[in-house]
Structure 1
């Protein structure tokens, strides 16, 4: 058990018959009335985000979440197989848990996997990855006042928008949180 004073970003709470990760919190002490804590919580399994307010000092139950660095090995048709880099234990992760993370995952990639009581909660990729453009149409520069973009398919199959001057075979840095183009890599 912890109190609302112990809240921090990334902490996982066990409440309302589910696991909720603290995305953001703010201690508020108004001029009148008691202090309270305003939080933004994300359901670890469904991804639903809610705003919840607690009275200051309220007890909340924290969940034990084991985070471990793992290496992506392969996709066996149904599950994604990861290996713990310390114990060499291999665990399967379902496509539902993987979500959009599979769009930026190459074999031998390093990720962080969070588990609660043996159940995989989520897969956390690094903030950015370097991938190669597998296919994109040639860019035609027209009369634009700003730089244009075109769709490109990455080596993982994911689609992103890239500047017109990029061609197939170019390695690019991609933000794994929103799939945006960050730059060219030489």
Structure 2
């Protein structure tokens, strides 16, 4: 009885082992298919994440741009107010100088240059558009364009301010009234 049981179990073993081993002999093809599927999912996720990051960066660039435009416009207004005050001061100096001793020609030319430069800055600010700047696919290039355009306007404003400071110094050197 034990022998029959042993023979039956041995024959069953010999019959089923090749079937089981035949089923597991190609795990590499199934594994590679799973790997390829996982790689496709990973690439898809990377694309989604990159798009989200790009959108966030573009939003930050637009926020930076809008804040800088507000600051630059405020600076232009302050400089315009300063030019108006200097112009009025020059007119008062000319009106009080009946003898023609005070020479305000240099100050007038400097104010004229400053007005002309400020007009150029105003046109640059009005022609600057974020839609024209955000045309490339990479936010780094977009930010570089935004930064460069704002930097050029900022440098022009610095030159205007420097010219006006020099004009104020020249006007302070002109003494109105008794200088005893």
TM-score (norm 2): 0.20
Greater RCO between the two (CA within 8 Å, min separation 6)? 2
Greater percentage in strand: 1
Greater Rg over alpha carbons, structure: 2
TM-score (norm 1): 0.20
Greater percentage in helix: 2
